Structure formats: C-alpha cells, structure tokens
Chains A and B, each alone.
Chain A
Amino acid sequence: MWYTVCGAVCQIAATHAKGRSAMRKLWKNRPMWIAAVLFALCILLAAATVGDRRISYTDGLFRSAALPVQEKLYAAQEAVRDFFVRVFHPSALEEENARLKEQLLEQAKQLAFYEDTARENARLTELLNFTDANPNLRFLTASVIGKSSNPYIDTLTLNVGTRHGVSEKMAVITGDGVIGRVSEIGPTWCRVRTLANDDMRISVTVQRTRDEGMYGGLTDLPDGSLGSKLYYLPEGADVRIGDVVVTSGLDEIFPKGLLIGKVVALDEGTGAYDAIVEWDADFSHLEEVLVLAPTGANP
C-alpha cells in the first residue's frame, strides 16, 4: 500500500515536473506565441473586410489616420513617375507635349472664334440700337474690306456697291456717329471718304450753343495728332473747349444730330479757323458700318 502511494506521488511529481518543463519551453518561445496571436488577429481583421468590403471601425480609423500620409505619398509617387518618364521615356513626354500643344492651339482657336463672335455681336447690337433710335432713316449694313494705308485712315472700302443700292455721297455712320461719305462706287464695292480726309466738308452745329459752321480740312492738334478745322461760326459765338460738334442736317447728306467730335482748341487770332475739332470715330477698329440712304432714296 505504502509503496503504491509513494509510487503515485512520485508519478504525480514527475508529471508536474514535465508540465513545468513544458511551461518553461512555452515561456521561452513566447515571441513565437505572441507572433502567432498577432497573426491570428491580423487574419481576422483582414477577413472582416474580405466579404462585402464594408469598412469596419478599426479599418476606418486606420484609413482616416493614414489619409494625409496617403495623399503625400501619392503626390510623391506621381513625382517619381514623372521623373522616370522624363529620364527613360523622353519620347512619351514629347508625344504628350505635342498632344497638349495641339489641344492648346485648338482651344485658342475656339476662344478666338468666341471672342470674335462676342465682339461682332456687341458691334451689331450697337448698330441695331442706332437703327431702332432712328426709325425714319433707311440703312444698309456693310463690312469694311479695306483701309487706306496712312495712319489716320482717310478712306475706307466697303463691300457694297451699286448692286446693293448704294450711290455717291451717301453718308456712312456707326452707332457712335459719322464716319464719312461714299466718294467712289463700283458694282459690289464703294470707297468712303472719312472725317480724316482733307477734302471732307460737313455742315455742323455746336451742340451746346446751336451755332452753325463748316467742318473740314486737316490741321495739327495741340498734342501732335490730327484734327479738323471748324469754319464760319457766327461772330461772337461762345464756343468752348470740350463742346460737342454734331451734324446740322443742312447739307442733306447727313441727318441732323450725328456726332462728329469735340472742340479741342480755339482760334488764337490767326484767322485761319474758328476752332479745331477732334473726331470721335476710331477708324482703325472699324469692321461694320451703316450706309445711310438720303431722304427719299430707295436703297
């Protein structure tokens, strides 16, 4: 009996010693156990996102925290890609460059077209406003197809002629005022003598004082550019610098009240003229004009 008990105790002690040895082994290999546990956790975490790709709380937390880093790294990745493309594939870069240049050119063309259309629209609207404001006048719209080569542009060529009902001495105007009058004419074209022409003569009125006079003949303005003289004002006329000069309508070519220009200088006792007028029209940027039929004409 005693031997049996002793034997059992010894067996338990031996088993316990084996257990302790096994535990010691396990403890010694704890990094592996830790790694195994972490591995299992990582697999579970990944498995949670395999199914329908719903973002779990942990997933969302990690990705939110990583987002700024992700952005920076993506930018770095693009920069590195560009660098390698530049170094190893210069032809690809050249192709891309050529393609972008082509695109840019195409867009520039489109932009130019749109801008041109917008400007044309503005000019035509201006002309339309003028025709609406003068319902008793008859107009013919014409495009400028040529200009004289001198800097002050004393003649213009229009794309309308006798076939369109244009005749000599017809007035040519824009929404801003007088441009000139038809001086030569062909079947499909006509030449216009502008306000800047030395031979141009128009009966005018000083708008403020209603004094009448004659516009015509070039002279130098005080600033060195060209202007026209104003003659035959009544004696004692109170004309001042800045007064607006408009057509009087007495020459039966230009209707009454069309803008010519402004007085920029007065006679200084020379007797050569009464005042100098600077015309308001900008001949260098003209594109569309109105040809005005004289009263009673049928253009």
Chain B
Amino acid sequence: MKRYGTLTLAAVLAIALDTAVLSAHTLWGVRPWVLLAVALAASVAFNVQSGIVTALLGGLIIDAICNSYLGLTAACYLVSVSALYLFTKRNHPKALFLWALAAAAALLPAPIEWLYSYLRGAQYGGLKTLLTVVLPCAVATGLCVLPFRKLLDWSKKGHRDRI
C-alpha cells in the first residue's frame, strides 16, 4: 500500500501546486503541469493503469477546482499517459530519454486544448503560443517526471523489499 499512498500524496500535492501556486505564478507563462508529471511518472514507475487513474481523477478534480470544462484536462492527460505507455512499452528508458518522451507526450494534448479554446471563442496564438508557451511547459513537465519517478520507484522498492 506504500506505493499507492505515495502516489496519492504526490497527486494531492500536485493538484495543490497546479491550482494554488502555478495557476497564478508562472515564469513568462511557462509552468510545469505537475499532476500530468505525476501521472506520467506513475505509468512508468508502476503501470499504465495507475497513470490512467491518476490522470482521470486528478484531471477531473483540477477541472472542477479551476472552473474549466469538466473532463477536458482529464482527457488531455489520458492522451499523454497512453502515448507515454506506447513509447515506453517495450523498453525502460533512461532519464534523459524519458524526459524527452514525457515532454513529447505532454505536447500531444495541445491540439485538443486548441480546439476547445477555439470553440470557446478564445484567441489562441497558434504556432507562436505553441513554441513560446506550450513547448516550454511540456519540457518543464518532462523534467518534473524524473523526480516523481524516483519517488515512486523508491516507494516501490520498499514494497519489493517487504515481499
């Protein structure tokens, strides 16, 4: 249970960071999507199901808290988690490679968010926004996956030791 406790704690912390801190305090609009990083780390460290559950529940909670369209964040995170699972299904990537893969996975929901922004009537900056905001955010998210993966690996190690 230790590993799922750690995952829950990390997810709660990530939701708090995403909604209370990083939603208002960014560096030129760039911020990591911490809950996505936790979900990606869970899918790599544990299994894809853990990542899916974290992405789904965490995404719904974030949508409810941030008054966003309910389900949009969850859907985006599910795409990223599934993509990373497909990228890493047959191998266990090293840190640098995982960073790149996670960043690429984090980029995938951009079209969905763009579509919703368009439907909502928001002016989306297109390529410029993609390069100056979304891409750096995805890279930062990929970077955040590494410590969370370490944390979850550590909790898993304790579990294995007990077995």
Q: Could you tell me which A residues sit within 8 Å of B by CB distance? A: 31-32, 34-36, 38-39, 41-46, 49-50, 56, 58-59, 62-63, 65-66, 69-70, 73-74, 76-77, 80-81, 84
Bound CA–CA A31/B81 (angstroms): 11
Q: Judging by beta carbons under 8 Å apart, are A46 and B72 in contact?
A: yes
If A42-B71, A73-B65 touch, does A34 touch B25 (CB 8 Å cutoff)? no
Q: Is B8 part of the contact surface with A, judged by Cβ < 8 Å?
A: no
If A42-B71, A50-B116, A73-B65 touch, does A62 touch B60 (CB 8 Å cutoff)? yes
Interfacial chain A residues near B25, Cβ < 8 Å:
80-81, 84
Q: Output the nearest chain A residue to B69 by Cβ-Cβ distance.
A: A46
Checking B64, B78, B86 against A66 with a beta-carbon cut-off of 8 angstroms, the contacting residue is: B64
Stretch from B48-56, B99-107, B141-149 at the A interface: B48-56
Bound CA–CA A31/B43 (angstroms): 11
Interfacial chain A residues near B88, Cβ < 8 Å:
none
Give the interface centre of A34, A42, A66, A81 by most chain B CB atoms within 10 Å: A42
Contacting residues of chain B (126-149) with chain A, CB-CB under 8 angstroms: none
Q: Judging by beta carbons under 8 Å apart, are A31 and B64 in contact?
A: no
Q: Could you tell me which B residues sit within 8 Å of A by CB distance? A: 16, 19-21, 23-25, 47-49, 52, 56, 59-61, 63-65, 67, 69-72, 74-75, 78-79, 81-82, 85-86, 112, 116, 119-120
Bound CA–CA A49/B61 (angstroms): 16
Q: Lowest 4 A-B CB distances belong to which pairs?
A: A45-B71, A42-B75, A66-B64, A42-B71
> What's the nearest-Cβ distance from chain A to residue B8, in Å?
15
Q: Judging by beta carbons under 8 Å apart, are B85 and A63 in contact?
A: no
Interfacial chain B residues near A74, Cβ < 8 Å:
20
Checking B65, B70, B82 against A70 with a beta-carbon cut-off of 8 angstroms, the contacting residue is: B65
Q: Judging by beta carbons under 8 Å apart, are A42 and B85 in contact?
A: no
Q: Judging by beta carbons under 8 Å apart, are A42 and B59 in contact?
A: yes
Q: Judging by beta carbons under 8 Å apart, are B75 and A39 in contact?
A: yes
Interchain Cβ contacts under 8 Å between A and B, 11 examples: A32-B86, A35-B48, A36-B82, A41-B71, A44-B71, A46-B116, A49-B69, A63-B70, A65-B64, A66-B64, A84-B25
Interfacial chain B residues near A81, Cβ < 8 Å:
24-25
Interfacial chain B residues near A84, Cβ < 8 Å:
25
Interfacial chain B residues near A43, Cβ < 8 Å:
71, 75, 112
Q: Judging by beta carbons under 8 Å apart, are B72 and A76 in contact?
A: no
Bound CA–CA A39/B75 (angstroms): 5
Apart from the given pairs A34-B52, A45-B70, 14 other A-B contacts in the complex at a CB distance below 8 Å: A31-B52, A35-B81, A35-B82, A38-B56, A42-B56, A42-B59, A42-B72, A58-B70, A66-B65, A76-B16, A77-B21, A77-B23, A80-B21, A81-B24
Interfacial chain A residues near B61, Cβ < 8 Å:
66, 69
Interfacial chain A residues near B16, Cβ < 8 Å:
73, 76
Interfacial chain B residues near A31, Cβ < 8 Å:
47-49, 52, 85
Q: Judging by beta carbons under 8 Å apart, are A39 and B20 in contact?
A: no
If A31-B52, A76-B20 touch, does A62 touch B70 (CB 8 Å cutoff)? yes
Q: Judging by beta carbons under 8 Å apart, are B72 and A77 in contact?
A: no
If A50-B116, A50-B120, A66-B64 touch, does A39 touch B79 (CB 8 Å cutoff)? yes
